[in-house]
Structure 1
């Protein structure tokens, strides 16, 4: 049986306009492992939120629910629309999920084809597809890479192109899993600056606590399938008892 924690509430930034609501979400894998035990959280327009916790806390499982890759018990609502089988394509267009390994996301011969894949499958006209590709590549500072071969890029470049593949869908929410993993210092700094400048609501799962400290005003801590703390990052990072109890280190 899991240890039941009571969520610690800290100060939170002012909030306007719900982008994401998760209510009492439960999930167990087919082997019987129970990964989520009633997760509830809320993200508002413009929020940039870090999701932290030890391995096995349920962070990745939670993220895979936010655009319907996994389907547990509870409610997920994006921009006022409850996630159901009937509106799954619409939700997936609103929730852009970027995986830790960009090779899981890049499978076309060229950068242009990778970034155009989503808009093309939305049935958009060619001119709109090209406009979206240009917008997305400009947002990640990769406009000159349009005709490059995706598999020839560095890890940092691939991660930026992976972000562009979801930005081309014009999402309401950007979800990233360990975006700084495997990056050298220069690529990591480029990514931090990019994420800071993107004008989009963002939930980022990471073990990089320096990234959390620098970039995210709000932090959600998960452990054993539960949200155990939620509030201003500076308050959470000053609570050494909380960090130690949930396998985290102060940056």
Structure 2
């Protein structure tokens, strides 16, 4: 199945720009609004992460939603009751995507799905892209090649309609969970832009070819001299992928 067919099966748009979620990892709402205004129409999603949400809370989601769909990346990880209640509050904000840690277990993932309801889709994070196998070994965790497919399977069985995994884990995850699960991939770095703090990065075209549906891109777009042109360049590189 092609990348476009994967996206269609998962219920996502297939236009190249719609496959891009820009990470608004900035400290102030003014900066986030300015970027969102510049990038509206050039990307499919705006990702609000911990930095912006910690500083401005629900106001950040409400402000950015004026420019496009919001992907709230707060990686909930707590006891099931707490996660379900948090997800229910987040559902009231109208976010389209919400992350939780798959490592929280089946009951926690199931609780997140229940709490969010029909307001959006839960994305279960497998292993952070910043974690190398040496990092995982240091906390007595299995290597990514073993742990990621296992967590992916657990989360999907618990009802998660989407997953977050590193580019280099995409092929194994797609093979494990099949075609109907939305795969979101951070650690995306256009050729020549460097990996920053992602231990398992990849180019946009490579990630799409390996089965990704939605690509999270941050600094290569947000720190570019012309963010809109940078986003358009990423999208152009996905045409026909």
Which category describes the TM-score, using the shorter chain as reference length? Answer: 0.3 to 0.5
Larger % of strand: which?
1
Q: TM-score, normalised by structure 1?
A: 0.39
Larger % of helix: which?
2
Report the structure number with the largest CA radius of gyration.
1
Bigger RCO of structures 1 and 2 (CA < 8 A, at least 6 apart): 1
